[in-house]
Amino acid sequence: MSLDKPSTALTSRQQVAVVVLAAALVGAVLAPSVYAATNDPNDTVAVVEIEGPVNTALADDVESELADIRANDSVGAVVLKLDTPGGAPVASERMYKAVQRTSQDMTVIASVQSISASGGYYAMAPADEIYVMPTSTVGSIGLNAPAPSARSAPFGPSGPDKAGSNPTQAWAEQETLADTFINAMMAERGEEFQMPREEVAKADTYLGTEAVNNGFADEIGSLNEAIHAAATEENLGEYTVDTRETGGLSGIPFLVRTDSGLVAIHANDPGYAEVKPMPSTYVYTPAVPHVDTIERFSEPDLRDAGAASTERTATGNETARLNGGVGA
């Protein structure tokens, strides 16, 4: 009987302990790679809905949502779901800047539903690609504004703006707004447009198929196809979709077109302060409904309000007219 046998052979309990220890060591080595493979930090496509007239409330929401997306490590790509005729120039430019900033961080694809024209086209232009349906409407690059009325420049104040604008100044402002829009579009899509700047500036609109052919859009495809393309571009593999609404019924006015021009109505039963003329817009006018009947205010009231928006007096007597208007 050998006396050293117990020291050279492991008991059954010791063998089990060795196996458990080995398994723990292997798990500790492999666990990080398994975790990383199944938990990609950029596994979400955010869909930002941009619907209705472009105005301050909508721009506020779009800026806020896109800023939140850029700060969210779980979002790997963005799709803009658009259905808008355009709207206010400043709000359109704010949205344009927000989309431009986001496209520097991740893939942004625009998906046009029924229409994204004028200010809507401005806002989505920095996207990496524009998807349209065959019947979608895009384009209308230019300014919608009435011609300044002819009148002499004011005399007496320290500057013309103290007593109201003059025709020369009004024309210059309109030209600046139009050039700002056109210049930005040429910078974003000048290489895609199959036409010179002069043709782009005519503010024509195009249906989806033609828009792809002339460079106003990139692909024919649905919202789901745009989402899949954005995820593929970022190599997301399996991903979730996070839809984010912007604007809201309380914040978006209803645009109407009258014989005197465009107005924004901020209430279902508008009063004097809830109807505001829009003298200069990035909006595709045919997409804005026209009203023939006026219930609460007469058309001369609207005409006076429109005149007051471009010819304010130093005494402020006409300033109240800025908040006047019609109820549709």
Q: How many CB atoms lie within 10 A of CB 186?
A: 17
Closest CA to 113 of 96, 133, 95, 130: 133
User: pLDDT class for 151, splitting at 50, 70, 90?
Assistant: low
Q: Give the mean model confidence (pLDDT) for residues 229-258.
A: 84
234 and 77 in contact (C-beta within 8 Å)? yes
**Which neighbouring-strand residues pair with 243?**
47
Q: Is residue 210 part of a domain?
A: yes
Q: Which residues of 124-163 are buried (b: 16+ CB within 10 A; e: fewer)?
A: bbbbbbbbbbeebbbbbbbbbbeebeeeeebeeeeeeeeb
Each residue of 38-79: pLDDT tens digit?
Answer: 446 679 999 999 999 999 989 999 999 999 999 999 999 999
Q: Which of 142-146, 213-217, 235-239 has the lowest mean pLDDT?
A: 142-146
Q: Is residue 280 part of a domain?
A: no
Using the predicted structure, report yes or no on whether residue 326 has a pLDDT greater than 60.
no
40 and 74 in contact (C-beta within 8 Å)? no
**Which neighbouring-strand residues pair with 255?**
264
List the CATH number of the domain containing 239: 3.90.226.10
User: pLDDT class for 304, splitting at 50, 70, 90?
Assistant: low
Sheet containing 254-258, strands listed edge to edge, beginning at the edge strand earlier in sequence: 254-258, 261-265, 275-277
Torsion of CA 68, 70, 73, 75, to 10 degrees: 90
Q: Is residue 71 part of a domain?
A: yes
Q: Give the mean model confidence (pLDDT) for residues 94-115.
A: 98
Q: Is residue 286 part of a domain?
A: no
**Angle 62-252-59 (CA atoms, 0-180°, nearest 5)?**
25
Domain that holds residue 58: 44-150+158-246
pTM: 0.73
Q: Which of 1-5, 114-118, 189-193, 276-280 has the lowest mean pLDDT?
A: 1-5
- At 41 the pLDDT is 66
308 and 318 in contact (C-beta within 8 Å)? yes
Number of domains, the chain: 1
Using the predicted structure, report yes or no on whether residue 298 has a pLDDT greater than 70.
no
- At 168 the pLDDT is 76
Closest CA to 203 of 124, 142, 144, 146: 142
Q: What is d(CA 81, CA 289) in angstroms, rounded to the nearest whole number?
A: 22
Q: Is residue 318 part of a domain?
A: no
Q: Give the mean model confidence (pLDDT) for residues 308-319.
A: 36
- At 309 the pLDDT is 40
239 and 171 in contact (C-beta within 8 Å)? no
Q: Is residue 78 part of a domain?
A: yes
Q: Is residue 302 part of a domain?
A: no
Q: Is residue 277 part of a domain?
A: no
Q: What is d(CA 197, CA 200) in angstroms, rounded to the nearest whole number?
A: 5
DSSP-based helix, strand, coil % in the chain, nearest 5: 40, 20, 40
Record the tokens describing residue 64, joined without a space.
């806020």
